[in-house]
Amino acid sequence: MDSRVAALRCLDDPQQQARAVTVLLSQARTGLLAAVAAQDLPRIVEFKAKAAAIQEIAKQLRLGKEMQLDAAEFCRRAERGLGVAIREGQAHGTVETKSEASARGAAIRDGVVAYDNVKPKPTDFAGVHELSNTQGGIYHLTDGISDEQFDDVIAEAKAEGNLSRANVARKCTDRAKPPVPEREPEHPQPIPALGARGSGGPKGDPNEMLGNIDGMLRGIVATLEFIRPQDIRDGERKPLTDGISRSLAMIRKHVKEIANG
């Protein structure tokens, strides 16, 4: 980025610098739109980094307020694009969900799955603090907000001259629908997406693995006995029980296949 700033400083006047930054923004916007349309997470991350770099260049060169706001707007749109792509990936089973993350540690520990077979995690694409924090994270620009609502938020924040993520996140939160639990995959996969049975999957003795699974399930059953239905929050009851039912269905399917040889 320093080399780009130095090159732009060599231009004769601020208008030339502004035109050069405008070209950078235009090229990056086109690339971001294509990456978002393709749900290409690594490319979205790349253009999100370019957005942050262009915003910093505009600040360092002390370009006009309008140019700095354009750069900041692109940065916010890149962040939302990443958040939407992560949520879509979680819904379609290509990115790890929170419940899958909770189960992953035990599965790796007990040898049920090898670490290098797990799905990509949201934190593979952005830091925890960047995704969600009290001052406004990427998920605040994403969850419960339609594209039209987000455009309204951007227009309002731009009119105020404040397109910081914190300000945009606050406005998105004010407009967001009531929060809903994280969407599980439409076609859930057991932890994680493994290869064909008997090839390329977890390493270890199959009999020992089945024994470990049996022990884990017995522990889960014992834990369930301590959960009182009246203690479950109404808004979370159905999503949680639906998720467990889907997992049980997958377990029954695989156990039947194994039992039938």
Closest among 78, 90, 39, 80 to 172, alpha carbons compared: 80
65-91 and 147-160 helices, crossing angle to 10°: 160
- For residue 125, count CB atoms less than 10 angstroms from its CB and return exposed for 0-12, middle for 13-18, buried for 19 or more: buried
pLDDT of residue 199: 45
Distance CA 203, CA 1 (A): 44
The reply to whether 124 falls in a domain is: yes
In the chain, which stretches have pLDDT less than 50?
1-2, 5, 115, 191-203
Could you tell me if 134 and 253 lie in one domain?
no
pLDDT of residue 257: 86
Could you tell me if 169 and 221 lie in one domain?
no
DSSP 197: T
**Alpha-helical regions (H) of 92-197:** 98-109, 128-131, 147-160, 165-175
**Parent domain of 224:** 215-260
pLDDT of residue 237: 82
* CB under 8 A, 24+ apart: contacts of 210-213: 210/258, 212/110, 212/111, 212/112, 213/112
Could you tell me if 130 and 2 lie in one domain?
yes
Could you tell me if 127 and 252 lie in one domain?
no
pLDDT of residue 232: 79
pLDDT tens figures, 134-188: 778 999 999 999 999 999 999 999 999 999 999 999 999 998 876 555 555 555 5
The reply to whether 234 falls in a domain is: yes
Could you tell me if 145 and 247 lie in one domain?
no
The reply to whether 205 falls in a domain is: no
pLDDT of residue 111: 53
